[in-house]
Structure 1
Amino acid sequence: MTVSDRDGPTIASAGDESGPVVSRACEVVDLSYRSFLADRAPPRVYWTAPHGLEIAGGGAAARLRATGDERFETLRADAERLFSSPNAALAGGDDLPAPARPRAFGGVAFHAGHDPVTPWEGFPAAEFVVPRIQLTRTDETTWLTVSASGTDVAVGDVKRELEDVRAALAAHPAMQPSGGSPGIAGTRLRTSREEWTRQVQRATDRIAAGELRKVVLAQSLEVDLASGIEIPDVLERLRRTYPECYRFLIEPTDAASFFGAPPERLVSLSGRRVETEALAGSVARGETPEEDHELMSSLFESEKIRHEQGVVVDTIREQLEPLGEIRVDERTVRKLATIQHLRTPIRADLADEEHVLSIVEALHPTPAVGGLPPERAWETIRGTETFDRGWYASPVGWFDADGDGEFAVAIRSGVASDARLTLFAGNGIVADSDPDEEWAEVQLKYRPILDALGE
């Protein structure tokens, strides 16, 4: 397979995807990540965390794919082979600066039995890509990393490719303004308000009967665009409007692009230190400081929201307690441009070394996107929602050779193909949920992407 970069060098074969990965890196002058992504052919990835690394990647040095209930175990085993080498220097891990080390980017579908039907063409049940070309921006500098995989890869070849790519990138402007927004020609809700009311009522009936404690039901919004969408431009607009959020792009093929600006961290792992959070309960932002404060106060005062938050916190604690010592911090409010959420930070110190994918598997799906009990919530979701969640509300993120990494919950997201975009949003349903209030809250959650499209 060859990956050709427009206006750049031709990238050689990705090689034997069983590993090992060979990587070389160098510092480069700052450049426009938007233009870098625009010049790459799929697969493309983009990742940035609030106050964290910004990473963009193009091409594939290697891919990891898995299906079925054992997908996490399969990914962990394949990752170990991929990043292993009898010579650490060849693997490009320990001898590279930490920010420049190669990473695998991707995620998993919400349901293990995911079938990649429209609009999810090209998205398997689980996939991670080690980019052929990776740009990593820190507070101090920008790193360029070139990677290849296979038993016959020579370090000298990777070094020469690194120099070729660096020379090609030197022509990129340091900053480049984003293009115009595509505009919205029309929208269609996949779930009518009447059907939503029936769905919520059925869920609350099951809760009253003791079959469920909570279930998160989602809606889908189809958006016809006035012109073709340029995802790098949309990501740039999301950066300006939602700097407090994660921003990501997963684009395994040219069939579709999955992107978003989720506010919720699923997990980060560094060594034996785990950080996660419970983000549940939402209200709008106020038009005045006084109204905004009043709405914020309602998050703390609402018995429904406190209950919903407590369920999520208790479940995350139970999921992590077998792995180490847990600390739950004080509740706070996360304020975004159009919405604010109740948030509880949760930390853990692991008793033993773990791969971040093991933590992801333990936590997915949190009650904030699934429900309780998990199996009955999943059954209710699949029997109620009129669309395939695909990778919506799933873990997306990255891991490295040490098994460290960071994942977000892929909400406030959409999947795009040509001039069509499908958005997703959901809400937690508990015993006293009101269908009208839940409907209004879900509509708020479409705003981040809709605003970035120019509505």
Structure 2
Amino acid sequence: MHTNVATNHTNTEILQLLLQLGMTSGGSFAIWRKPKTNNIEIVLDETTIPVKVDLSIEKLDPGFIVHPFADQMDKKAYFIKANKYFSFELDNPLATADLPEWAKIQLTNQKRLSPNAIRDLLSKQTLTHKTKTSKSSEEKAHFIQLVKKGIEAIQQKQLEKVVPARTKTISIPLDFNLGSTLLNLMDSYPNAFINFFHLPHVGTWIGASPETLIETKGDTFYTMSLAGTQKASGDNPLKSVAWTQKEIEEQALVSRYIVACFKKIRLREYEEHGPKTVMAGNLLHLRSDFRINMQETGFPELGSIMLELLHPTSAVCGMPRREAHDFLQEFEGFDRSFYSGFLGSVNIQGSTSIYVNLRTASLHDDQATLYAGAGVTEDSDPEKEWEETELKCQIIGRFIQNPSA
């Protein structure tokens, strides 16, 4: 008698299989793990041309949304519809039989790719967006000058705060294993939104964002203000941290901006908690949390309303928003693409969770372009702001260059 024995797969194997299915499908897909959860999710849409949608998120089908930093001319976002969806718990061994039917069929018909083959697939992508590279000394000189310009604009009362950003391009090593890298990010940053998405001919990105833009579940709406950065140090960094007036004021500006958005729509009933110190990897930030009951306040579409009002937040752009945005467009010197835009799951299992696209990198041509910004106020020190961006670049960069970091 012949017995079929179910083969259990490790987390790395399952993730590699799902990445292979996505990369060889010809379509768009996203893989993610929400903060403080143990659940990996994937959506796959095999349509070869990426789809764009309006930002009325309450009316959207289940899927994954990706919006750049700058407003699109058509005011739309990329959307990966959950034509195929699967989720599984980490550390819960899966047998082939546990995979969804669509995955089993494709895996049966496909040759198993090596981890390096997925890297090769990434390097063959034709992208509409590429960032020009320059020497690190030129990058630093440009960024320092940009910060000084920002401080001058604040001193002249043109701006209250501005958040200049920069890029850093690193090579992707030959032994780069995308599945292992994602799992190591999940293990190292339990409080971050770990994500990977691929839009054919548009971009392929990996990230570990610490910042929720909006979240809706049932009648509850949630957002946060996150700003101020310093390196975690000592045995108990959350207890020993000391914040400067510059960092406290920087975070307070973001909170005031959120409250101003509430006032704009005459929403008066909200809970505000904080600010408190939170840890994101090896960095500390100040965070305040805001909660609203959408039914009690009569705002059933608050998710879409606040998405439009909040993005781009003062934490990634500055204040006043329009003037800060114009300053960055004029002087920053590169296209942010999806960096400091937003991304996340929409209407999946009764909830929408959208995050600011921070601590992120685009993957292309055997290289990764890292993105980071720093909040500039009148009290900023240009050299320290550069060091802050270096620390932020390391969050993703060290995992790409050393997957077991």
In 1, the alpha carbon distance for the partners of 2:10 and 2:260 equals: 44
Contact 1:324 1:349 in 2 (8 A): no
Matches for 1:312-327 after TM superposition, within 5 Å: 312-321=254-263, 322=265, 323=267, 325-327=269-271
Amino acid at match of 1:340: L
Per the alignment, residue 31 of structure 2 pairs with 46
Per the alignment, residue 291 of structure 2 pairs with 347
Give a deviation string over 1:160-188, Cα, whole Å, max 9, x none: xx64545667999xxxx988998xxx995
In 1, the alpha carbon distance for the partners of 2:102 and 2:29 equals: 19
In 2, the alpha carbon distance for the partners of 1:451 and 1:59 equals: 31
| Deviation of 1:399 (Å) | 1.2
In 2, the alpha carbon distance for the partners of 1:348 and 1:431 equals: 33
| Deviation of 1:271 (Å) | 2.8
Contact 1:277 1:344 in 2 (8 A): yes
In 2, the alpha carbon distance for the partners of 1:436 and 1:114 equals: 36
Per the alignment, residue 23 of structure 1 pairs with none
| Deviation of 1:224 (Å) | 2.2
Q: 2:307 aligns with which of 351, 357, 360?
A: 360
Contact 2:176 2:401 in 1 (8 A): no
| Deviation of 1:355 (Å) | 5.9
Find the residue that maps to 1:431 and give its secondary structure: coil
Per the alignment, residue 207 of structure 2 pairs with 260
Residue 430 to residue 420, structure 1, CA distance change in 2 (3 Å):
same
In 2, the alpha carbon distance for the partners of 1:449 and 1:431 equals: 29
Amino acid at match of 1:204: I
Find the residue that maps to 2:166 and give its secondary structure: strand
Contact 1:246 1:262 in 2 (8 A): yes
Matches for 1:157-196 after TM superposition, within 5 Å: 163=101, 165-166=103-104, 188-189=135-136, 192-196=139-143
In 1, the alpha carbon distance for the partners of 2:220 and 2:363 equals: 35
In structure 1, the gaps of 5 or more residues are 1-27, 67-73, 84-102, 116-123, 144-161
Find the residue that maps to 2:397 and give its secondary structure: helix
Amino acid at match of 1:411: L
| Deviation of 1:63 (Å) | 5.9
Find the residue that maps to 2:269 and give its secondary structure: strand
Amino acid at match of 1:343: R
In 1, the alpha carbon distance for the partners of 2:396 and 2:289 equals: 26
| Deviation of 1:447 (Å) | 1.1
Give a deviation string over 1:35-57, Cα, whole Å, max 9, x none: 32233234120121112453112
Contact 2:29 2:198 in 1 (8 A): yes
Within the alignment, does 1:297 sit opposite 2:241 as a pair?
A: yes
Give a deviation string over 1:332-357, Cα, whole Å, max 9, x none: 22223321111111212222211633
Within the alignment, does 1:276 sit opposite 2:227 as a pair?
A: no
Per the alignment, residue 206 of structure 1 pairs with 153
In 2, the alpha carbon distance for the partners of 1:401 and 1:35 equals: 22
Residue 344 to residue 199, structure 1, CA distance change in 2 (3 Å):
same
Matches for 1:74-223 after TM superposition, within 5 Å: 74-76=54-56, 80=59, 83=61, 103-113=62-72, 126-137=77-88, 163=101, 165-166=103-104, 188-189=135-136, 192-223=139-170
* TM-score, reference length from structure 1: 0.71
Contact 1:242 1:336 in 2 (8 A): yes
| Deviation of 1:240 (Å) | 1.9
Within the alignment, does 1:33 sit opposite 2:20 as a pair?
A: no
Find the residue that maps to 2:378 and give its secondary structure: coil
| Deviation of 1:239 (Å) | 1.2
Contact 1:215 1:370 in 2 (8 A): yes
Contact 2:40 2:90 in 1 (8 A): no
Contact 2:21 2:106 in 1 (8 A): no
Per the alignment, residue 251 of structure 2 pairs with 309
| Deviation of 1:403 (Å) | 8.5
Amino acid at match of 2:278: R
Contact 1:190 1:222 in 2 (8 A): no
Matches for 1:217-232 after TM superposition, within 5 Å: 217-227=164-174, 229-232=176-179
In 2, the alpha carbon distance for the partners of 1:237 and 1:430 equals: 35
In 1, the alpha carbon distance for the partners of 2:401 and 2:215 equals: 33
Per the alignment, residue 326 of structure 2 pairs with 379
Per the alignment, residue 338 of structure 1 pairs with 282
In structure 2, the gaps of 5 or more residues are 1-7, 95-99, 120-132
Per the alignment, residue 52 of structure 2 pairs with 65
Find the residue that maps to 1:276 and give its secondary structure: strand
Contact 2:171 2:401 in 1 (8 A): no
Amino acid at match of 1:400: N
In 1, the alpha carbon distance for the partners of 2:348 and 2:35 equals: 23
| Deviation of 1:131 (Å) | 3.0
Find the residue that maps to 1:375 and give its secondary structure: helix
In 2, the alpha carbon distance for the partners of 1:363 and 1:39 equals: 35
Find the residue that maps to 1:335 and give its secondary structure: strand
Name the structure, 1 or 2, with higher relative contact order (CA <8 Å, separation 6+).
2
| Deviation of 1:142 (Å) | 11
* TM-score, reference length from structure 2: 0.79
In 2, the alpha carbon distance for the partners of 1:227 and 1:105 equals: 30
Residue 139 to residue 251, structure 1, CA distance change in 2 (3 Å):
closer
| Deviation of 1:429 (Å) | 0.5
Give a deviation string over 1:250-306, Cα, whole Å, max 9, x none: 2111663112001111110113311111110011121x326x367x5222xx11011
